[in-house]
Amino acid sequence: MGNFVFKLPDIGEGVVEGEVVQWHVSVGDSVSEDDPIVDVMTDKATVTIPSPKSGVVDSLSGGVGDMIGVGTTLLEIDTGGEESASEEEVADSDGGTSDTSPAPAPAPAPAPKVPSQPSTGRVLASPAVRKRARENDVDLSTVRGSGPAGRIRHADLDAFIAAGGAISGAPPMAYSVKRTEITPVKVVGLRRKISEQMSLSKSRIPHFSYFEEVDITELESLRRVLNSTKDEAQPKLTYLPFIMLALAKIMPEHPECNAHFDDEGGVVNRQGAVNLGIATQTERGLYVPVVKHVEAMDIWRAASEMQRVSGSARDGSASLDELTGSTFTITSLGREGGLGATPIINHPEVSILGVHKAREMPVVRGGEIVVRRIMNLSSAFDHRVVDGADGASLIQHLKRMLENPALVFM
């Protein structure tokens, strides 16, 4: 029998190792060429490695969370042939032109590459999940998948079996039943990267927070007018593009807030460009895609770019360039906006702005109580390089711009 040894290929950009995020196969599984076998993460890029051969998985190297070096054996496949081979030997036999390594994905892939589904309605699931389903007499077409494009994961199959085969709508557990289960969840992949980044920011940066409320009644009126008169090619405006343009306009007067702090070198690099990171929640975790050179954009371009990079982050197609280079970050909790927060600065930046849900509120104007539309802002600054007065000055300047939105365009 032939035994094909497949090693972690060179996935580019100077990568020397990757973290195993998810195996899509188990020992004993049958795989076809190009079936997804493993997700490997390098920095913020996740690559789905496809199988170079068809056969039966004979062995795997490394568990979820393990680091695997380029050139290290990933798995061995029994191809059923008469001779053993490795990927290097296969490449040599093709004159050195065959490359079994996939192109590096600059951003986490939304889902493993899978063969096109036949017209019989075959559901998306890895060979390992299919094998377990067969062993447990489970029809996968009755299982609801939680993965990308409805892909069925091991957890979905576990939940289905535990529920006795119920698809959905199971009655809630009675309050009188004690729940004592403990579910360990290994911190790997993007969640590990987020954990490391947040620990770095909080351990190195002495944060100070500043809160303010803004009357955006006039801004709301302007937003409605612009949306009602836009053409079909222009995006619908939210509040964020106005905030982005306002920040870009006022940053030259607050250069200490649009900077990177090289705390190892003891240098604050004040940035001329206003590259705004837009914190974006995705199914895979929190990403910060970047809208670059907002200072050179109009409101429509800013809105379009924000939607484009945020959409790319959500569907996993964002490039590495779109995920790096921010000089100031905006985080918006949207409908979950709350009244305030203490956002964590995106190291090595020195400032971050939190935007909360706008709401109708009674306020006093001219000695009378009137209803106005109010939005709360939360901000945090690196107190090593931004004094309290400077951070407050930026937010107060932003408040004036948003309460008098014509200033944004002057």
The residues assigned a catalytic role are 383, 387
Q: Are 313 and 324 in contact (CB under 8 A)?
A: no
Tell me the C-alpha distance between 348 and 262, whole Å: 7
Q: Which sign does the torsion angle of CA 110, 76, 58, 51 carry?
A: positive
Could you tell me how many residues make up the chain?
410
The structure tokens listed for 406 are 């014509």
Helices (H) then strands (E): counts for the chain: 8, 20
Other CB atoms within 10 A of residue 182 CB: 5
Query: Bridge partners of 211?
Result: 378
Tell me the C-alpha distance between 279 and 388, whole Å: 24
Q: Are 155 and 146 in contact (CB under 8 A)?
A: yes
388-403 vs 239-250: helix crossing angle, rounded to 10: 130
Q: Are 67 and 120 in contact (CB under 8 A)?
A: no
288 backbone φψ class: left, alpha, beta (φ>0; ψ -120 to 50): beta
